[in-house]
């Protein structure tokens, strides 16, 4: 009954989406606003329908309805309730429903705004949003149905069908297979929703961009309408990436946070184009330039969002043959191809209308540096995209699957990322319109001296690695420039208004949230870069088998194996938990408890490290193996990860900066400005 209700709501949402597309298109073509309003109501209706469908899945998961194939594949009786609920996005069918639910929520929210001033955008925003939603709902209904049940014939054969075949009865497994142990980490409760929120939110600015192209609105109104949507999308996607890195660090047991895995890169690629888009829209707003470029970037971001969703849930890169046999793969690629070709065709149709009247007159101006910044982002995107698809191409043409490993990405992207850090420091000090080496040098010399001083201290401390020195200079340069901008701005305001420094700083940020929120984000990126430099360049490791009381040394750290206990936990897993004592420079600093969990339901293990974390470094211990009988001997692998905590601290600074930049501002003067602009355009016509 619950499965039928959920499937009915899912089907109704699909039909309503198709109706909304048709009604909106008809109302726009025939100039009948009532039909567009009807389509708008249809879009709003998809959200409660999909909420009902998702709730049905959650009820089935929470109440152990193993006759439903999806429930049997992602849950088990031993799983805690919070994992059963979050198993909604633990498998492909459920994650597609979750994606559609988020899409309907965002699309419904954007249609609730007042449209009096932008009525011409409404029908096309509805069409684009509902086309995307209908595609994912169609996948659920026709290919990946989360409500499919298990039916058994008298012969004992069990099949998966939505409705009962003749001469069959429901099959009730005693227990489910349970989630993959790697997905039972608390981070996986938050990580996928953050990624999906970022993916879905980027559909909104894309919808407005297509609406602007169709209606011929070549001004920056669509950008202003979607600015906050873009910021939230970028924040959620960024958080998803960082949370995924933290999950990898805590669960995968290889001492790192990023392995250049295709699924990781699938989420990273739309982040690259989205970040470039956030920077270049400022040029269009300030100078009326890069209109064509911004359209290209948002179209790329949308296409990469769909591509990333496909790679994340389809598993296409785990086996090329599995993709060839999958019904989801061809449908995804057809949708990506059709939407990309249609979007680019529309863009080329309006290409001349999007030409900017202003031209760049200085290679050192802020807009020129922003453009160079975007080109570096696109360079990193091309490296990542080539690395992801190369195994598919190699197997297609040679019959052998050639995997692209981390060294390729690091060597190709390292210089590009260094260039981004340099521009992050220099661009804020350049001027709009025109800037020279002299004026830029006058603005940049103080932060540069501060950065050089830090580098000198680092070299004096004994660090001689050239890449580390360059990286430290760039990160400290970014931080020095950012803090310099805050200090200079607050001091100028304090002199002008007679305010003390802290009050002036508060008012400065409050009145220029977008600018100074961006500077705080720059600080967070520098902190992330410090963590990356520390672990990528200075990480060290060792491994050894120890008897109880023996020690293993790594640098200034020493670890002593004290004991190991093997026992069954109440949640149907076997736990092997070691106790090790850690000392630094001969002084005890605490105990760690690395362990290995084996889940009986899925018959898979999970390694949980013991970590001592400080602002200076992490001491990271893995239990690799042990003697089953006596536990007197065990094998450990240990890592020393300098500065990695700066990554996680940078994440909190990033959240704060994004909240500052996205916080609503008063737009009291916007309507008169837009009205006068329209009057000027009408006069020219």
DSSP string covering 639-667: EEEETTHHHHHHHHHHHHHHHHHHS----
Structural contact between residues 111 and 295, judged by C-beta atoms closer than 8 angstroms: no
Which pTM was predicted?
A: 0.90
- Of the three residues 179, 214, 238, the one that is the final residue of a domain is 179
Q: Is the pLDDT of residue 316 over 80?
A: no
Instruction: Give the dihedral sign, CA 51/55/57/61.
Output: positive
* 685 vs 582, higher pLDDT: 582
Residue 663 belongs to a domain: no
Structural contact between residues 255 and 622, judged by C-beta atoms closer than 8 angstroms: yes
Identify the helix (H) or strand (E) that includes residue 432.
none
pLDDT recorded at residue 315: 58
- Of the three residues 114, 144, 179, the one that is the final residue of a domain is 179
Identify the helix (H) or strand (E) that includes residue 53.
helix 33-62
> Cα separation of 17 and 515, whole Å?
39
- Mean pLDDT, residues 36-63: 96
Residue 80 belongs to a domain: yes
Q: Is the pLDDT of residue 323 over 90?
A: no
Local confidence band at 317 (pLDDT 50, 70, 90 cut-offs): low
Residue 114: other Cβ atoms inside 10 A: 6
- Of the three residues 120, 146, 179, the one that is the final residue of a domain is 179
Q: Is the pLDDT of residue 628 over 80?
A: no
Structural contact between residues 368 and 360, judged by C-beta atoms closer than 8 angstroms: yes
Alpha carbons within 13 angstroms on the beta-carbon side of residue 122 total 31
Residue 100 belongs to a domain: yes
C-alpha Rg value of the chain to the nearest Å: 28
Instruction: Give the dihedral sign, CA 570/244/206/681.
Output: positive
Residue 381 belongs to a domain: no
pLDDT recorded at residue 356: 78
Residue 330 belongs to a domain: no
Residue 19 belongs to a domain: yes
Q: Reduced to 3 DSSP states, what percent helix, strand and coil does the chain have, rounded to the nearest 5?
A: 65, 15, 20
Query: Which percentage of the chain shows pLDDT scores above 90?
Result: 60
What is the domain-level CATH number for residue 128? 1.20.120
Residue 91 belongs to a domain: yes
Residue 575 belongs to a domain: yes
Number of domains in the chain: 2
The overall average pLDDT reported for the chain is 88
Q: 83-102, pLDDT tens digit by residue? A: 999 999 888 899 999 999 99
Burial bucket for residue 581 (CB in 10 Å: 0-12, 13-18, 19+): middle
Q: Is the pLDDT of residue 681 over 60?
A: no
> Cα separation of 102 and 94, whole Å?
12
Q: Which domain range does residue 96 map to?
A: 1-179
3-state secondary structure of 564: strand
């Amino acid at each position: 009954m619950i499965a039928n209700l959920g499937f009915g709501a899912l089907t109704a949402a699909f039909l309503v989406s198709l109706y909304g597309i048709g009604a909106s298109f008809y109302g726009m073509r025939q100039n009948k606003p009532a039909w567009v309003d009807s389509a708008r109501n249809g879009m709003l209706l998809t959200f409660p329908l999909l909420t009902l469908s998702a709730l049905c899945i959650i009820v089935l998961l929470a109440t152990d309805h193993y006759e439903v194939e999806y429930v049997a594949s992602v849950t088990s009786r031993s799983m805690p309730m919070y994992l059963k609920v979050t198993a909604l996005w633990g498998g492909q069918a459920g994650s597609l429903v979750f994606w559609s639910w988020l899409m309907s929520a965002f699309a419904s929210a954007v249609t609730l705004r007042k449209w009096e001033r932008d009525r011409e955008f409404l029908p096309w925003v509805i069409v684009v949003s509902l086309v995307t939603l209908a595609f994912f709902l169609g996948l659920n209904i026709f290919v990946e149905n989360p409500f499919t049940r298990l039916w058994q014939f008298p012969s004992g054969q069990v099949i998966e069908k939505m409705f009962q075949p003749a001469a069959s009865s429901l099959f009730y497994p005693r227990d489910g297979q349970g989630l993959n142990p790697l997905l039972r980490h608390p981070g996986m409760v938050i990580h996928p929703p953050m990624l999906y929120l970022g993916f879905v939110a980027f559909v909104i600015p894309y919808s407005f961009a297509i609406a602007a192209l169709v209606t011929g609105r070549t001004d920056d109104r669509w950008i202003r309408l979607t600015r906050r949507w873009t910021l939230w999308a970028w924040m959620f996607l960024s958080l998803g990436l960082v949370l995924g890195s933290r999950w990898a660090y805590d669960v995968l047991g290889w001492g790192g946070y990023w392995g250049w895995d295709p699924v990781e890169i699938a989420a990273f690629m739309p982040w690259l184009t989205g970040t470039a888009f956030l920077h270049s829209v400022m040029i269009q707003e300030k100078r009326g330039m890069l209109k064509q470029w911004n359209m290209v970037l948002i179209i790329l971001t949308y296409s990469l969002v769909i591509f990333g969703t496909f790679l994340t849930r389809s598993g296409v890169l785990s086996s090329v043959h599995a993709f060839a046999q999958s019904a989801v793969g061809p449908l995804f690629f057809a949708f990506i191809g059709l939407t990309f070709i249609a979007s680019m065709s529309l863009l080329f149709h309006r290409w001349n209308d999007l030409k900017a009247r202003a031209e760049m007159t200085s290679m050192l101006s802020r807009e020129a540096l922003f453009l160079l910044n975007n080109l570096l982002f696109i360079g990193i995107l091309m490296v990542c995209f080539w690395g992801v698809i190369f195994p598919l191409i190699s197997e297609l043409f040679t019959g052998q699957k050639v995997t692209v490993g981390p060294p390729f990405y690091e060597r190709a992207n390292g210089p590009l990322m260094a260039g981004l850090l340099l521009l992050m420091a220099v661009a804020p000090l350049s001027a709009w319109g025109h800037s020279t080496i002299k004026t830029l040098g006058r603005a940049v010399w103080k932060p540069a001296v501060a950065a050089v001083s830090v580098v000198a201290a680092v070299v004096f401390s004994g660090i001689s690695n050239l890449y580390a020195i360059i990286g430290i200079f760039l990160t400290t340069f970014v931080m020095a420039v950012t803090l310099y901008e805050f200090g200079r701005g607050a001091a100028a305001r304090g002199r002008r208004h007679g305010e003390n420094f802290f009050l002036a700083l508060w008012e400065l940020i409050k009145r220029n949230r977008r600018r100074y929120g961006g500077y705080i984000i720059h600080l967070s990126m520098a902190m992330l870069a410090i963590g990356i430099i520390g672990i990528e360049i200075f990480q060290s490791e060792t491994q050894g088998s120890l008897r109880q009381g023996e020690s293993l040394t790594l640098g200034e750290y020493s670890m002593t194996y004290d004991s190991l206990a093997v026992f069954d936990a109440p949640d149907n897993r076997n736990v092997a938990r070691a106790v090790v004592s850690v000392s630094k420079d001969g002084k005890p600093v605490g105990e760690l408890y690395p362990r290995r969990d084996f889940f009986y339901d899925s018959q898979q293990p999970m390694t949980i490290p013991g970590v001592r974390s400080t602002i200076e470094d992490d001491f990271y211990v893995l239990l690799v193996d042990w003697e089953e009988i006596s536990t007197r001997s065990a094998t450990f692998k240990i890592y020393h990860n300098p500065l990695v905590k700066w990554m996680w601290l940078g994440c909190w600074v990033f959240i704060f900066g994004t909240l500052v930049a996205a916080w609503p501002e008063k737009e009291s003067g916007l309507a008169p400005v837009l009205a006068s602009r329209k009057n000027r355009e009408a006069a020219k016509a």
